[in-house]
Structure 1
Amino acid sequence: MKQDRSEAVSAEDAAAFERDGVVCLRNVLKPDEVEHLRLAVSKQMEQLGVSATGYDFEALAQQVWDTSEPVEVGAANRFDMQAMKELVLSDPDSRPLLEEGEASKKGLFFYDVAAWRWDPGVRQVAFDSALPGIAAELLGANNLNFWEDTTFVKAPHTRQKTAFHQDLAYFQIEGEQCVIVWIPLDAANDGSGVMQYIRGSHRWGETFAPNAFVSRTSFPSSPHPKCPDIEGNLAAYDIVSFQVKPGDVIIHHVMTVHGAGGNRSDLWRRAMSFRYCGDDVRYFDRPGALKQAGGAAGLRDGDRLFSKDYPVVWPKPWPGFRLSPVYDARQIGWDLERARYT
């Protein structure tokens, strides 16, 4: 039975999400919850070069477009970046997606995933904050599974944009009851690279192939068409963005097309995103989707996401119940001392 309605979601918020495919909610997270995520991001960034999942997309973009420069990603092995470079260079429509600025200024576009698997603070926010109830309310879902978290950091003067894309084809799921919660850990606006969304694009009725983020080039293993050239035709689309501060969240539907500019400011733009899936979502080993870091153990196409890898975070068994303190990370095959999969 559906639990009480989230007080953080007004009727106007729900209508905006239904109409636009995106809504910004203010003062949702508490200061200590934001700090939990900041600490986890700091730990991730300290492991850049030795982590299996952390990347600097700014450096990668430079390596992609410089044919004389080899691809160097340290210990990261989630993607075949040399193959991605060859793919982008073979695409006649590909081009660098950079803000105007001084080429000599070196930025950082940091990416990592799955902090929830080793960091109890991230689990606390993902499982026990107001977010699961809000996501369930917006989706009209009776049950909600946590899918994954992703970290995106753009340092000051990072010219690299994030190509417009749609999330569904990146995920090994099918169904439409899925939202992405974008959580700013610093104040963000258009100048520092806050997310940009195409209003109503969740109703286009089209699934677009994943792209490489630093280019519009789509993954050839995906059966879906390439996302339209939005960067080259911004005036043709109804694009909305939100000026946000820590504690605010932006929530978009899995079908909503979105991207981001570079960080032209003198300030950091740190953010983490959570993904939640509702009742109609099923596991689907989608061609072209990104393989998760350690996820989907034992699931087959068509299965509900009832798995140790996708905890049920809504409804709570009773009011005030907290899942994160009783969730044992060792059960998902994570070695907490070495912070890597066993």
Structure 2
Amino acid sequence: MSAGRGRGLSAEDRDAFQQDGVVCLRNVLTSGEIEKLRAGVAQQMERLGRSKTGYDFEAFGKQVWDPVRPVETGTANRFDMQAMKEIIQADPAACPLLEEDASDSEGLFFYDVAAWKTDPGVRMVAFDSALPGIAAELLDARYLNFWEDTTFVKAPHTRQKTAFHQDLAYFQIEGEQCVIVWIPLDAADDGTGVMQYIRGSHRWGETFAPNAFVSRTSFPSSPHPKCPDIEGNLAAYDIVSFQVKPGDVIIHHVMTVHGAGGNRSDLWRRAMSFRYCGDDVRYFDRPGALKQAGGAAGLRDGDRLFSKDYPVVWPKPWPGFRLSPVYDARQIGWDLERARYT
């Protein structure tokens, strides 16, 4: 499927998204836009161990399954990882989700968020690339808010899988018009740990509790049921994945169940995801959802996402308008190091 820069989506693209809950689009981002995202990811990774929001889930997975090994996350404090370890260890059904790999490499499953708030290049791609228009067309949205970005990097020979999950219950929102754009910054396939999606799962009519990625164990603070055991019953599900290269994107509905394998290859698998919300989405401080880094200032349940934290990125006020150069986070008052709004 293809949706080149400046072209509208095809009927096939729209049908795939509606029926499957996921669509792969080719050649959407330019090489310059990919380089901006790579630079943003490099800066995040350089701060691993010193930032408040960056984690290595490969290391955390090893800490979880070792009963005497302490949880060590450097200065990162967005999550209570010690409490998460105790929750997983108390789950009798919990087990490691690891790829078979003969390598003795330590691996790295890097996670971070909110690069757009400090990195102008990431903000430019999130606000002013072809992505907002594509997301709005898929959602048939009158307007579009940018919700957040997340970085996922799996180094060569990273055994840790990403547990199958559904995104909605991680977010403080309610509504149907939300998509996640998965952006590969390296060529990716099943060997490197590309995303895997359950076709049609966005139409199951069920919201599933979040999990900690390294285990199927759900957050006990969530009122929603646990995601089905897909890892243990792969043949029972219609799973699709896509071989992608930089410039391609994979877009899935917020209700689509998905996961990923480890990286069994000698290559890096860097990726960033953007989340966009349409006009039917409202703020909802959902029990068990992840608190955002510096987000949701002043919003109450039922409010539209009209906030400096969730800028309207589509439609543009006139053709050719670029939002990112005039959106100065320094004047908005974010204190990302404290992971809160000041």
The answer to whether TM tops 0.5 is yes
Letter matched to residue 14 of structure 1: R
CA contact (8 A) 1:118 1:334 kept: no
Shift of 1:121: 0.3
User: What secondary structure sits across from 1:72 in the alignment?
Assistant: coil
Shift of 1:332: 3.2
Q: Which residue of 2 aligns with 1:121?
A: 121
Q: How many residues end up aligned between the 2 structures?
A: 337
Cα distance in 2 between the residues matched to 1:302 and 1:245: 39
CA contact (8 A) 1:149 1:273 kept: yes
Letter matched to residue 157 of structure 1: H
Cα distance in 2 between the residues matched to 1:8 and 1:254: 22
Cα distance in 2 between the residues matched to 1:332 and 1:277: 21
Cα distance in 1 between the residues matched to 2:81 and 2:157: 24
CA contact (8 A) 1:157 1:263 kept: yes
User: What secondary structure sits across from 2:316 in the alignment?
Assistant: coil
1:28 aligns with 2:24: no
Q: Call closer, same or farther: CA 1:150–1:203 in 2, change over 3 Å.
A: same
1:81 aligns with 2:112: no
Give unpaired runs (5+ residues) of structure 2: 1-5
CA contact (8 A) 1:97 1:215 kept: yes
1:155 aligns with 2:155: yes
Q: Which residue of 2 aligns with 1:329?
A: 329
Q: Call closer, same or farther: CA 1:112–1:309 in 2, change over 3 Å.
A: same
Deviating above 4 A after TM superposition, structure 1's stretches of 4 or more consecutive aligned residues are 338-342
Q: Which residue of 2 aligns with 1:3?
A: none
Cα distance in 1 between the residues matched to 2:82 and 2:38: 31
Cα distance in 2 between the residues matched to 1:129 and 1:101: 38
User: What secondary structure sits across from 1:191 in the alignment?
Assistant: coil
CA contact (8 A) 1:132 1:276 kept: yes
Identity of aligned residues (%): 84
Shift of 1:162: 0.1
Cα distance in 2 between the residues matched to 1:28 and 1:20: 20
User: What secondary structure sits across from 1:59 in the alignment?
Assistant: helix
Q: Call closer, same or farther: CA 1:8–1:269 in 2, change over 3 Å.
A: farther
1:281 aligns with 2:258: no
1:267 aligns with 2:273: no
Matches within 5 A, 1:188-207: 188-207=188-207
Q: TM-score, normalised by structure 1?
A: 0.96
User: What secondary structure sits across from 1:207 in the alignment?
Assistant: coil
Name the Cα RMSD after superposition.
Answer: 1.5
Matches within 5 A, 1:130-209: 130-209=130-209
Q: TM-score, normalised by structure 2?
A: 0.96
Give unpaired runs (5+ residues) of structure 1: 1-5
Shift of 1:330: 1.8
User: What secondary structure sits across from 1:62 in the alignment?
Assistant: helix
Matches within 5 A, 1:80-99: 80-99=80-99
User: What secondary structure sits across from 2:191 in the alignment?
Assistant: helix
Letter matched to residue 167 of structure 2: D
Post-superposition Cα deviations, 1:95-145, rounded to whole Å, max 9, x if no partner, equal 000001137321000000000000000110000000000000000001000
CA contact (8 A) 2:51 2:75 kept: yes
Q: Which residue of 2 aligns with 1:299?
A: 299
Q: Which residue of 2 aligns with 1:319?
A: 319
Cα distance in 1 between the residues matched to 2:35 and 2:8: 21
Letter matched to residue 272 of structure 1: M
User: What secondary structure sits across from 1:142 in the alignment?
Assistant: coil
Q: Call closer, same or farther: CA 1:104–1:258 in 2, change over 3 Å.
A: same
Post-superposition Cα deviations, 1:130-188, rounded to whole Å, max 9, x if no partner, equal 00000000000010000000000000000000000000000000001000000000000
CA contact (8 A) 1:24 1:250 kept: yes
Post-superposition Cα deviations, 1:188-207, rounded to whole Å, max 9, x if no partner, equal 00000000000000000000
CA contact (8 A) 1:118 1:339 kept: no
CA contact (8 A) 1:8 1:28 kept: no
Q: Which residue of 1 aligns with 2:3?
A: none
Letter matched to residue 329 of structure 2: A
